[in-house]
C-alpha cells in the first residue's frame, strides 16, 4: 500500500469532494481518498500492484476535473 497526493483543479463544493472521492474509491486497489478542498488536492492510499496513478487521474478527469502534474 502506498500513498500519493494529486493536485485537482475545479473542485468548488462538497459535491465535488464526493464526486472525486467516490470516483477514486470505486477503483479497485484504492483504499482511501481524502480531498482537501482549500488545497485543491486529494490524498490517496492505494495498492500500486492493482491501480496506477494514470487510472486515478482518468477517473477524476471523467468527473470533469483537471489533474495537474
12 vs 49, which CB is nearer to Cu ion? 12
Q: 8 Cβ partners below 8 Å, 6+ apart?
A: 20, 35, 40, 41, 42, 60, 65, 66, 67, 68
| Residue 4 interacts with its own copies (CB under 8 A): yes or no | yes
Q: Which does 52 bind (CB under 5 to 8 A by kind): its own copies, Cu ion, none?
A: none
Look at the block and give the residue holding cell 490524498.
Answer: 43
Nearest distance from residue 61's CB to its own copies, in Å? 21
Q: Residue numbers of the site for its own copies (CB under 8 A)?
A: 2-5, 32-39, 41-45
Amino acid at each position: 500500500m502506498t500513498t500519493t497526493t494529486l493536485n485537482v483543479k475545479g473542485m468548488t463544493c462538497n459535491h465535488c469532494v464526493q464526486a472525486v472521492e467516490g470516483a477514486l474509491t470505486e477503483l479497485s486497489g484504492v483504499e482511501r481518498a481524502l480531498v482537501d478542498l482549500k488545497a485543491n488536492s486529494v490524498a490517496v492510499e492505494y495498492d500500486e500492484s492493482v491501480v496506477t496513478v494514470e487510472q486515478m487521474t482518468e477517473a477524476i478527469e471523467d468527473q470533469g476535473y483537471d489533474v495537474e502534474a
